[in-house]
Structure 1
Amino acid sequence: MAMISVTRLQHPIETRESLVRRDVFWLKRSVEMQTELSIRDAAQQLSVSPSTFKRLCEKHGVELNRTPGGHRRVPLNALDELACKLGIGELQRQTRHSWRGSLSTNNVLDLLKTQQSDQLRDRILAACHQPSDLISIIDQAIAPALWTMGTMWQRGEMKVYETQICTETMLRSIYALETHFQRVQETGLQAVGGCLHEGCDTMSSKLVALSLLSLGVRAHDLGPRVPAEEMADAANALAADLVWCSSTHWDDRADLIGQHLLLRRMLAVETPLMIGGGGLSKSAVHSLEACTYFETLGGMAAFVQDMVANKKVDKETRSTGSLRSRSPQSL
């Protein structure tokens, strides 16, 4: 007599309704995934590394989705929200692709190495559809090239004289761009800044000054190794609306943090002290909470543009109030 074996099913047979529900769920999820980006692609949109992007998402509370395989995805609306908080506009993100080739990291480095400062200036100006576009170009093209140059020097892939040539070429381009953007209509805001660090940290401060010029702010760069007392004296004498301190490489030394806190105390309470630079730790951010820290020039630009908008509102309010206070007989 033949034996009949019975195999117990590990999973129950799905009903038609459950199959339909499952198909509808994954169809909906596939549509959602078409409006999402991978971490790498999203980071590329903002011109930051994937690790920096993850840190920014955590800092600004951006929620990420998960694929069935467990991979993180960034909804486009969340990316737009993060870009807005960082001061990177949609136009800047779209126009970036139009100059990615001419201002790629390799192309910028080639121009610096061959001392073609005028060519670099012309490419930057050609990429600026409006003055404020300069800031996204610095964030997404110039700064990465300078970081790459520093990394190559640390690895021994670039000689000291080569880095000096690149630095001098970049400075000539900055001076030429300053002349161009000084024609931008001024907002009435005035800024003073520099670097408190004892190193020759000239480049970062000049890029901040150039960015402020493109926003219509009159910027006075005091250069590197400026004592806190001297910077405060200049800011107070010029009635600066804001003060900046830049540094390419931050560290948590107590004396450096103390210099920033001393400067903060010597400035008027209503005068913002903007600080920026790479590598600022969470403990240093906490110690400098009285200052306004920016990881990108785009974030600084958004802050300054808010100041400009508020100043216009205050000016219009004062103007309207003065008209209302005048009697009909005096008109």
Structure 2
Amino acid sequence: MANLLSDCITANGKTVENYVFPPERRPPISGKADVPIIDLQEENASKHIMKAIQEFGLFQVINHGVSKDLIDEALKVFKEVFELPPEEKSKINMEEDLNQFCRIYSSSYNFNTEKFHYWRDVLKHHCSPLEECIKFWPQNPENYKEIVGAYVTELKDLGARILECISEGIGLEKGYFASELSADNILTVNHYPPCSNPSLTLGLTKHSDPNLITILQAVPLHVPGLELFKDGQWLSVDTVPDAFVIFVGNQLEVVSNGGMKAAVHRVSNATEARTSAAFFINPSYECMVEPAKELVQAEINPPLFKAFKYRDFFKVYTGHDGERHAILEDFGFMIKP
């Protein structure tokens, strides 16, 4: 059982050698990304979402229907878990099994084999079916399951509304994504401890998300972290209070036949701690993923991707120690013209 990063940072503040990424893997940021803020109660929300996706691959949403009180309560108990004494955190499963209902670990799935470690601790919750998975979530704080269960339920509803906007925007039938394409949900809480030399480390290296869409929330807002790769440069992303950041993932890129590109991003560290909650909306493991037939025409717009099981893609994704943003192409899921 490995100790969490937050439990073993040395008192002298030195950055451990295997957490230092080589310079070529941590190029500096070049500016800020003006990521659109979309009011989900506006009549043309779907149109605004599609425009933001085409330009950035991600967007922020406000007036999303998730109560501020629930958001604050969830973020509070997330923080409390990572502040628990090591002996209490050790009661949460630390085994190396991707299929565990709940697991806490440092860096990534591949801690024992990766050359460089991410400067983060992770609390991962499987959420489907919620009534079964929630039994294995942390027992402490006492109200953790109640609060986070309600939070997850609200995020699932929010994700369904966003996917409806997207299906409308690309010309798919209503309810297209209300299927095995969005049947599996995972909540990952990332804690990035304070780092004395943040320019040497990464919370997450360059990647795109493997799923359909991701709903992200991070605190505190004044601590930088999220960075977008756009037009060959890294740009910092500022978020607004109580908004969620929505990312296009690899599976949405496939379903749209390349019409929507997965957002390529990373996470940097800071001298102050930061926590984020990422809710992943995934296909079920056995779901066959392929370009939507409505978006494919043999000669005008041929399929760019062959059909594959999400299980097979995810296995390649999680087994890859490095930058995962080009896996669709590099690992043969893309059909070359």
Q: Same fold (TM over 0.5)?
A: no
TM range, smaller chain? under 0.3
TM-score by length of 1: 0.25
Which one has a bigger Cα radius of gyration? 1
RCO greater where, 1 or 2, for CA within 8 Å and sep 6 or more?
Answer: 2
Q: Taking structure 2 as the reference length, what is the TM-score of the superposition?
A: 0.24
Higher strand share: 2
